[in-house]
Amino acid sequence: MKTNIKFSILCLMAVSFSMFTSCGDDDDEKSDTTKPVIALDEPAEGDSLKIGAPIHFEMDLSDNEKLKSYKVDIHNNFDGHNHALKAATSTEAFTYNHSWDVSGLKNTHIHHHEIVIPENATPGKYHLMVYCTDEAGNETFIARNIVLSNDVEADHHED
Amino acid sequence: MRSGIIPVMLMFVFASSLWAQTADTVMTGTLDEVVVSGSYKKMEVLNTVQQVEVVEEPFLREHFTGNLTQTLGHIPGVHSMDIGAGFSKPMIRGMGFNRISVVQNGIKQEGQQWGADHGLEIDAFSVGRVTVRKGPSSLLYGSDAMGGTIEIERLPAPIDDQWLGEVNLLGKSVNNTLGASLMLGLKRKAWFTTLRYSEQHFGDYHIPTDTVVYLTQRLPIEKQSLKNTAGFERDANWDLDYRKGRYYGNLSVSDAYQKVGFFAGAHGIPDAEILHDDGDSRNIDLPYSWVNHLKVTSHHQYGFGRLFGYLDLGFQNNHREEWSYFHTHYGTQIPPEKDPNKELQFSLNTYSASLKVKRFCSNNWEYTVGLDLQYQKNTIDGYSFLLPEYDRFTSGVLWLSKWKASDKLSLSGGLRYDYGHLDISAFKDVYLEQYLTDQHYGADVLEDYEWRSYAVERDFGDVSGSIGCVWNPTKSQLVKVNVGRSFRLPGANELASNGMHHGTFRHEQGDASLSTEKGWQMDLSYTYVHKGICFIFSPFGSWFNNYIYLKPTGEWSILPHTGQIYRYSQAEVTFIGAEAEFSVDFLRYLNYKIAGEYVHSRNREEQLPLPFSPPASMRNTLTWKAKKFKVFAQWQAVMAQDEVSRNEETTPGHNLWNMGASANVPLFKTKVELTLSAQNLLNEKYYNHLSFYRKMEIPEPGRNFQLLIKVPFKSSIK
């Protein structure tokens, strides 16, 4: 009986060992899962941005391998009670969705004023989100609470 | 003569005992002297070529949490995917959702297994015994049982005529749960009936942190209490058995209702303002969900000589709603007049029928032929969209056989063919259409986005099968080998959906051309039981050539709150893993047990693991047991999960300390069972890789003390 036990255990160990080692081989070719990094300088969290003016947009993107694209998504975060519904107002909730190609780069500094808040944008709370992908499909994003307002100065930066 | 039969049998020989109820048929009782003491548990383990775990009293009581799935999470290889403290869905060896099946009274439970935030709707108090079948089971239960099954039963009828009953009381500190369950039953002659009513109420649950950091924003968790996670559950079950001569029949009616709030941050970007303490830890505010599962099943069996017939019929209605403020989704639009805040509604009706005939050809050979039919209809409502309306018809024919080659060896195998027809309706999202029109998008963009599902009609057919053996070379050893082929039909969401999933914030897109998921799976198991020592080792491996997964496409979606589009695609996938268990009795009253598990999955196309892979873990338990008392201390170590899919977060490992004690106290001619337990004694802040709230960086519940009181009573009838 003793030999029987030993034999069975040995068999199982051999089988399981071969199973584990056979799958261990492929760990080397594991694909890139490191997400790109977004360091968004402008707009900052809680910033009030002037309606009718371009947004000062500035950030650094980097990836361990190669970046692919980034997208900026701005949509309202109205709470639904304090703001008049669409039908009753002459302004329009601002929505923005645009993407830029940064493929092939490992890191890049982005600085532009391409995003323009239209004159008829409804003032209030908004979300600004920046998404970035790399060539492998890894994706990262960052969310900012911003306020669109008629009563602030447009952002004139120092440089 | 024997030599002629063997090759034929080897070809068809087959798997596992049919369903749990059949094990009580006398003719299977001729098994070896071995470790069989005649108990159901050991019988089932010996009868099944797959790795099975049977849990009943006292396991179910000692690990009771009021939530069956969490209780089963204590079984090696089984995990609980939690949505806060209320809803949970089970996972077996790294497969969850509709890759495993839950079966009660011989009928597959059909809720909404596919969704990330839906749980299992079964009254935990009503469960008497659970059999977990790890590995491919679509031979027995068809399409969805690909990764395993969980079979739930109540306790069998007592032999003597009597009135009986039970009162259960449950209290938990982590979310101030108060629960109670009352059961009354009558056994008289051929009849046995039980009626049970259970209720549980719980408040917001505590997490050991004051803030969570989500999307680079620090959010306050006031009073360390996770706002709006309170809820309640209300269940009723009625069972009627009739057993006379060679006939046995059962009628079972059950209804389970749950209503649970969602942490507001779980819907949209959390805003510090909505997370302020509202002074009430037991209210259920928006967003919340409620679900009702009504189930009527009936089982009949009759024996004619060496022939046994079994008939199961079932009807189920699963109705689930999610409520969330309309304006949090479409802030600038006018809400619908009726039920303005009803976000989602699903009503799934399932009709099931199964007929099986089992024939005992001799003392060592039996076979079964069977037919399974199921029809489902899903209807939807609400201002948002998650799953399309569909009709689904599936049917399967099966042939199972079992042959006892000798006292030490039995072989089982079987073949099954399933046919499935799925008819999915298209759905146009009028609110999204309005939203996109307001953004001045052109007709081509509208066409791509306003259809949240496309009309898809598909037919599928597939074969499953398995062959395996149970060998007990000596009294103390048991070896099992099983090879199986199983499959799963693609779900309606995988074939036809298009748009943002409200739980994952991903734009998910179906592919109408997906084929059935097919896989080969092999499992082994070795058990050694001798003089207080028990050792179990069960490795497994499986290979799928077309496993369905969500593949990032690199194309941006124009929908707000979403990044790139994820499309359901198919890839070669392998799983490999094992569970191991060792337990030893020592110093008369003590027992030490260590149990561990590991599963490794790999998507060969992406060279990455699959999402929601459970991390390796281990439990060390020291138990002191005397006649009426039992005390245990447990150290649970969960490894970090660094094996993640693309765009899935890694989760750090953690150590948890748990304790428990139970006592039987004689009181008024009955024995009151008291079970006191404490989980997460050190109030450790940790994350569960499988939790719905994981991606929001919300830690798991903190320290919990729990008391369960069970008072059984009975009175004989002359």
Residue B213: beta bridge partners?
Answer: B218
CB B309 within 8 Å of CB B302: yes
Distance CA B260, CA B252 (A): 26
- Residue A76 has which token pair? 């309202």
Domains of chain B (ranges; CATH) run: 2-716 (2.40.170.20)
Distance CA A65, CA A105 (A): 8
A50 to chain B, minimum CA–CA distance in Å? 20
For A5, nearest residue in chain B (alpha carbons): B477
| Of A146, A121, A112, A113, nearest in space to A52 by CA | A121
Strands of chain A (E only): list them. Answer: 37-42, 48-50, 57-62, 67-76, 96-101, 107-112, 124-134, 139-149
Q: What is residue B206's DSSP assignment?
A: B
Measured between CB atoms, does B554 come within 8 Å of chain A?
yes
A8 and B554 within 8 Å at the Cβ level: the answer is: no
> Could you say which residues from 73 to 112 on chain A have a Cβ atom under 8 Å away from some Cβ of chain B?
73, 75-81, 83, 85-87, 92-93, 95, 97, 99
CATH architecture classification, A34-149: Sandwich (2.60)
Q: Which helix (H) or strand (E) holds B457?
A: strand B456-471
- Residue B91 has which token pair? 């996972």
Tracing tokens 């009702």 back to the chain, one arrives at B292
Distance CA B693, CA B214 (A): 11
Q: Give me the pLDDT at residue A155, please.
A: 60
| Of B218, B133, B124, B130, nearest in space to B177 by CA | B124
Q: Give me the pLDDT at residue B177, please.
A: 93
Query: C-alpha distances in angstroms, B59 versus A91, B62, B127, B183?
Result: 64, 5, 12, 20
- Residue A125: count other Cβ atoms within 10 Å of its Cβ: 17
B554 and A133 within 8 Å at the Cβ level: the answer is: yes
pLDDT band at A21 (very low <50, low <70, confident <90, very high): very low
pLDDT in tens, A69-104: 999 999 887 764 444 444 456 788 888 889 999 998
| A16: helix, strand or coil | helix
Q: Give me the pLDDT at residue A15, please.
A: 52
Q: Give me the pLDDT at residue B4, please.
A: 39
Measured between CB atoms, does B553 come within 8 Å of chain A?
yes
Q: What number of C-beta contacts closer than 8 Å exist between A and B? A: 129
> Could you say which residues from 226 to 285 on chain B have a Cβ atom under 8 Å away from some Cβ of chain A?
269, 271
Q: What is residue B522's DSSP assignment?
A: E
Backbone angles phi, psi at B703, to 5 degrees: -55, 140
Distance CA B53, CA B593 (A): 16
Measured between CB atoms, does B409 come within 8 Å of chain A?
no
| Phi-psi label, residue B11: left if phi above 0, alpha if psi -120 to 50, beta otherwise | alpha
Q: Give me the pLDDT at residue A29, please.
A: 60
- Residue B51 has which token pair? 């790795």
B563 and A15 within 8 Å at the Cβ level: the answer is: no
Count CA atoms within 13 Å of residue B451 on its CB side.
16
Q: Give me the pLDDT at residue A127, please.
A: 87
Q: Give me the pLDDT at residue A156, please.
A: 55
Query: C-alpha distances in angstroms, B491 versus A60, B137, B430?
Result: 41, 18, 24
Backbone angles phi, psi at B154, to 5 degrees: -95, 175
CB contacts of B332 in chain A (<8 Å) are: 76, 78, 83, 85-86, 93, 122
| Of A72, A90, A59, nearest in space to A126 by CA | A72
Spans of chain B below 70 pLDDT: 1-40, 85-86, 113-117, 215-216, 265-272, 328-332
Q: Give me the pLDDT at residue B190, please.
A: 93
B524 and A142 within 8 Å at the Cβ level: the answer is: no
Arithmetic mean of pLDDT, A114-126:
88
Query: Which residue from A23, A133, A142 is facing B602, i.e. has the nearest CB?
Result: A23
Distance CA A70, CA B199 (A): 50
Q: Give me the pLDDT at residue B17, please.
A: 32
For B268-309, the three-class secondary structure string (H helix, E strand, C coil) is CCCCHHHHCCCCCCCCCCCCEEEEEEEEEEEEEEEEECCEEE
CB contacts of B328 in chain A (<8 Å) are: 80
Distance CA A86, CA A66 (A): 42
Backbone angles phi, psi at A63, to 5 degrees: -145, 155
Query: Which residue from A12, A137, A143 is facing B269, i.e. has the nearest CB?
Result: A143
Instruction: Say whether the peptide bond before residue B7 is cis (omega within 30 degrees of 0).
Output: no
Better pLDDT: A156 or B379:
B379
Q: Give me the pLDDT at residue B717, please.
A: 84
Query: C-alpha distances in angstroms, B148 versus B132, B262, B355, B686?
Result: 7, 29, 21, 28
Distance CA B191, CA B206 (A): 46
A78 to chain B, minimum CA–CA distance in Å? 6
